[in-house]
Amino acid sequence: MNSSTFTSLKKPPIYTKSKGEFWNDEYISKQMLKAHLNPEFDGASRKITFIEKSVAWIRELVPCSKYSLLLDIGCGPGIYAEKFAQAGYHVTGIDFSKRSIEYARQSALNKKWSISYLYKNYLEMNLNEIFDFCTMIYCDYGALSTKDRQVIMNKIYHHLKPGGKLLLDVFSMKRFYDFQEQQTWELCHNGGFWRKDEYIALNGFYKYSDNVTLELISIISKNEITPYYLWNTYFSKETLIQEAEQAGFKVCGIFGDVCGNIYQKECGTIAVLLEKSN
Ligand SMILES: C[S@@+](CC[C@H](N)C(=O)[O-])C[C@H]1O[C@@H](n2cnc3c(N)ncnc32)[C@H](O)[C@@H]1O
């Protein structure tokens, strides 16, 4: 062990970005895709039963007869996007996981869905199209820093028609209070999610001010030690509304999740339906 080993294990300043590739690492992205496509697993996309309920609710709330052009932001391998297309929306999906976008394109082709998929960082999107409806589902908004959340809110605002809608969800303060600080480790003899070959994962779960948590996963293999930072910002109804209104949105509805359950303080998530003013 040398001093850089200790540095990579230390709690970093808030919202420090990982140096190690995560979404586009050749090996890790394969494991991510498997996680997305497992219908019984909640790790990357939610379970398929939830997604089906969610799409059924969304199409009632924001009907495709009025809001046809839909942009799914952070679409992953297109699980929602395909169901939106099936429901009658004209769908564009954007994601910066190359493997997910390639899978999504092939899957749409096989199923003959006309969905447009863009391999792009949504924080830099500057599309030649404006939409009736944007979705950003599974708490990706809270994985962003304060500055990046402002960037994405403004980007979405600019990519919506006047009167257009945005639906997104975040983890609630309940999840923040339930989050336990701890340090754990795991020895993976035959490889695992993070590496093909043997590695040790040292995990630090930390709380920060401003309702932020970090899962710091340091992977130690024969040749390297690489820290990965998974950030989460948690919201109350009020703080979420404040950020949306700062970007110019009007709040049309607050829910407990993207299936339309009633919002209560005990819910683990909050979903918000926003509208770009005319
Ligand atoms: C938690 S997953 C949710 C996927 C999908 N919305 C769902 O519910 O099935 C977050 C997705 O956002 C994508 N993502 C994260 N940051 C991104 C960025 N800056 N630009 C584009 N995609 C991003 C990831 O690649 C991943 O597919």
pLDDT tens, position by position, 196-219: 999 999 999 999 999 999 999 999
* Percent of the chain whose predicted confidence (pLDDT) is above 70: 98
Look at residue 3 and tell me whether its pLDDT is greater than 70.
no
Q: Which residues pair with 219 in a beta bridge?
A: 201, 226
Distances (CA, A) of 236 to 62, 64, 170, 243, 275: 24, 30, 9, 11, 19
- Cβ of 29 closer than 6 Å to ligand 1, yes or no, is no
Element (H, E) at 200: strand 199-208
Q: Compute the distance between CA of residue 205 and CA of residue 184 in angstroms, rounded to an integer.
A: 8
**Which ligand 1 atom lies nearest to the CA of residue 144?**
16
Which of 17-21, 112-116, 134-138, 245-249 is predicted least confidently?
A: 17-21
Ligand 1 centroid, distance to 109 Cα (angstroms): 21
- Cβ of 55 closer than 6 Å to ligand 1, yes or no, is no
- Cβ of 233 closer than 6 Å to ligand 1, yes or no, is no
Q: Tens of pLDDT along 48-62?
A: 999 999 999 999 999
**Is the torsion defined by CA of 261, 264, 265, 271 positive or negative?**
positive
Ligand 1 centroid, distance to 113 Cα (angstroms): 21
- Cβ of 103 closer than 6 Å to ligand 1, yes or no, is no
Mean pLDDT score across all residues of the chain:
95
Ligand 1 centroid, distance to 222 Cα (angstroms): 30
